Structure 1
Amino acid sequence: MAFVITEACIDEKAADCKDVCPVDCISEGPDQFFIDADVCIDCGACETACPVGAIFYEDDLTAERKKFVEKARDFYQSQ
């Protein structure tokens, strides 16, 4: 499992999460940032740094937010 960036990041893109990630697993997409689940080490640095509360541990996502797991997967597969 990994952390996931959700709807609060859309069009906000503060980038604080990217700045603190020790493994550089966060990339900027067209409308939000995304976390590469294959690289994420689950340290949680991004979650605490996010100024808009957009980042959640995947297991803690609500049913409505689970779509952001797929959105991130699609983003990294298209690169």
Structure 2
Amino acid sequence: MSQTYLTTKGLSMVLPYSEWTIRNQLKDSVLLEGIHYFRPFGGRKILYIWEKIEEDMMKGISSLAIPMANGGICHG
């Protein structure tokens, strides 16, 4: 299984977020180390796994879903 690895700059080119937003607001809150990104060879460089990010973005998409304030979804 082949995976696509992106730097922060590369990820900002496919998502509508700036590099700053990815680094300071999404990383470690929405994008989690070990799931969405990793640090190869224990270094400082971060590589994002595009397929994992895309999979999580598509979860819960439904035409009848109503987002709730607590982060849940109402299927009503």
Q: Shared fold by TM > 0.5? A: no
Relative to the length of structure 1, the TM-score reads 0.27
Q: Larger RCO: Structure 1 or Structure 2 (Cα < 8 Å, ≥ 6 residues apart)?
A: 1
Task: Please identify the structure whose Cα radius of gyration is greater.
Answer: 2
